[in-house]
Amino acid sequence: MTRIVRILAPNPGIRELEGTNTWIVGDRPAVVIDPGPDDERHLREVVREAGRVSAILLTHDHPDHAPGARTLGAMTGATVLAARPPEGAERLRDGQEIAVRGGTIRCVATPGHSADHMAFFLQPDASLFTGDAVLGRGTSVIDLPEGDLVAYLRSLRRMRELEPRTIHPGHGPLVLDAVGKLDEYLDHRARREEQVLAALGEGSATPEEMVPAIYGDYPPEVRDLAARSILAHLLKLEAEGRVEKHTRGGETRWSVSDPRTCARCGRPVRGRARLCGPCSLAALQESD
């Protein structure tokens, strides 16, 4: 088994839980994943535990994960790698592999929480480092404008296809049943979507109006985050043609869409298209 050590950053919060998990993988040299904030005491502890460092990997560039990378790179001489690299860093690409003692880290593009999000899959251990895509406790925030629920669900399915054994999240405790956690996340999003549609059917027309019904048991300080999460679901449903957006006088309200059917064959269609896929293809062929 490859050596894995967690160093907890001193930045607790609503989104960060107890703080950011900085992961040290391998040894002589080690790889550091998500150095977290640019906090001198935290980074010195990482250096003491890691020893020689060959690379610093960023799951994404959010301020609770990435700012310490430049300082840690200067302290260790290690290269910083990220999908959206800061100045002086190198670009990570989907499928890229980084060698560590006893294994290989594969980079897996997992957009959704942010456009640049990467997960890291350590083989042969089957350990998955998920950043903010999957947390050790609670659920990930899909926050606009960068958050994209359609991309996020695709990323969850991609991570599940890897069949990881353990999840080493960006926040919260180690997850020992990785596949079970990913299934839980997918089920959670499906249930949340049902709740959004039910709230629309009961007369709620904005994310803020839906929050009390969907997040009534949550503390008040997370209500703004909850409303933005609901908006992410609404935008996904709008793209699928299942809800409609109405803007008047600067106010946006939402409603459930009437089912649409293909103008040629009568089959259901998604979105605002007039024709289903087969009929659209047939119409294009007829016009040639």
* DSSP structural state of residue 14: T
Quote the tokens at residue 224: 């703004």
pLDDT at 288: 57
Which residue type does 8 have? L
pLDDT at 247: 92
The span from the CA of 101 to the CA of 197, in Å, is: 49
Using alpha carbons, list the distances in angstroms from residue 252 to 231, 244, 288.
Answer: 11, 10, 41
Which residue type does 284 have? L
CATH of range 4-176; options 3.60.15.10, 3.30.420.40, 2.60.120.680, 3.10.310.10: 3.60.15.10
Residues 53-84 have pLDDT tens digits of 999 999 999 999 999 999 999 999 999 999 99
Residues 260-269 have pLDDT tens digits of 777 778 776 7
Q: What pTM does this model have?
A: 0.88
The span from the CA of 27 to the CA of 102, in Å, is: 9
Residues 196-235 have pLDDT tens digits of 999 999 999 999 999 999 998 888 888 898 999 999 999 9
> What are the domain boundaries of the chain?
4-176, 189-256
4-176 and 189-256 agree in CATH topology: no
For domain 189-256, the question of CATH label 3.10.20.30 is answered with no
Q: Running along the chain, 288 residues long, what does each successive block of 10 average in pLDDT?
A: 96 94 96 97 98 97 97 97 95 97 96 97 98 96 91 98 98 98 97 96 94 89 91 94 91 86 73 72 69
Task: Identify the burial level of 106 via C-beta atoms within 10 angstroms of its C-beta, where 0-12 means exposed, 13-18 middle and 19 or more buried.
Answer: middle
